Structure 1
């Protein structure tokens, strides 16, 4: 008989699987090359998932945010370079993006001044740090929008091919 889990010690992979109403066996059938026993080991934390495992689970569970979770929490490179993106509603993402863009717009001339000589001097550092933080906010908002698109495509049949086609025309 398998380990019994209480709500507070289930990991994100198990929670996502259960949210889809899937047993480990059924999830395994829907994935390519990920056995039920492998899913169990990942959920128990006795083995770490590979990027392949996570992609399979993300697709099967309709949770593209699992990829971001893995990269930002379990991958050594991602831990350093990939920020965690939180899922939110489209309206919140758009408002955050517009607010961030509005904040950065008046700072573009200062950024040009700072970058003109190809160096950042100590007296420019405070302004550069502020601008860099605002650019990080924009990057995070764009990542959140892309994650929302992927999740909506998986759950609600957003026509991702049409989106790619339209973006390709630009």
Structure 2
């Protein structure tokens, strides 16, 4: 069994590997994980120590082998220059996701009516811009919750 490397503590890729080692003994060591992933052990070490960013295909392999779909979202939000503006999605328990979803469904109903009022004349006035921004915030919230539920389902239903 490999040891839990303290220098990599807190690194999402190392933590995902440690978590996955509970169901795949080969992942306790970097050697075993690098063989499973098909990448060099020293490259995996640099990724886990934070001195190198993984390539997108490496993240996909880690997400699959570690059963950690949240790694894809983390990579896109924090490491990919195209995803910097994407909402931050976290892995949460199903009950928390459900409560947040129900709350946002209530908000979406109000946003729907407001959007109809704003757009009915085909012109968005200065007075309506603030309301439109609030509608966009509500839709962003729904998007985050949707992504969180997708991650939960991918992790727990396969």
TM-score, normalisation: structure 2: 0.84
How far does the alpha carbon of each residue in 1:131-156 deviate from its partner, in whole angstroms, 9 at most, with x for none? 21111111111111101011113xxx
Is residue 2:99 matched to residue 1:95?
yes
What is the deviation of 1:35?
2.2
Equivalent of residue 150 in structure 1, options 147, 150, 154: 154
Equivalent of residue 45 in structure 2, options 40, 46, 49: 40
How far does the alpha carbon of each residue in 1:79-119 deviate from its partner, in whole angstroms, 9 at most, with x for none? 12x21111111121111111101112133222012123444
Is residue 2:60 matched to residue 1:59?
no
Separation in structure 2 between the aligned mates of residue 7 and residue 75 of structure 1, nearest angstrom:
24
Root-mean-square deviation over aligned CA pairs: 2.0
How far does the alpha carbon of each residue in 1:25-46 deviate from its partner, in whole angstroms, 9 at most, with x for none? 1112222x32222211211223
Q: Where in structure 2 are there 5+ consecutive unaligned residues?
A: 22-26
Structure 1 pair 118/73, CA: closer, same or farther in 2 (3 Å)?
A: farther
Is residue 2:82 matched to residue 1:74?
no
Q: Secondary structure at the match of 1:88?
A: coil
Separation in structure 2 between the aligned mates of residue 7 and residue 35 of structure 1, nearest angstrom:
19
Q: Does the aligned pair in 2 maintain the 1:10–1:43 contact within 8 Å? A: no
Count of residue correspondences: 149
- Comparing 107-116 with 132-141, greater Cα deviation is found at 107-116
Is residue 2:84 matched to residue 1:85?
no
Q: Which residue of 2 aligns with 1:28?
A: 34
Q: Which residue of 2 aligns with 1:121?
A: 125
How far does the alpha carbon of each residue in 1:39-89 deviate from its partner, in whole angstroms, 9 at most, with x for none? 112112232111101111111111110110000000101112x21111111
Structure 1 pair 148/101, CA: closer, same or farther in 2 (3 Å)?
A: same
Structure 1 pair 117/51, CA: closer, same or farther in 2 (3 Å)?
A: farther
- Comparing 126-135 with 5-14, greater Cα deviation is found at 5-14
Q: Secondary structure at the match of 1:62?
A: coil
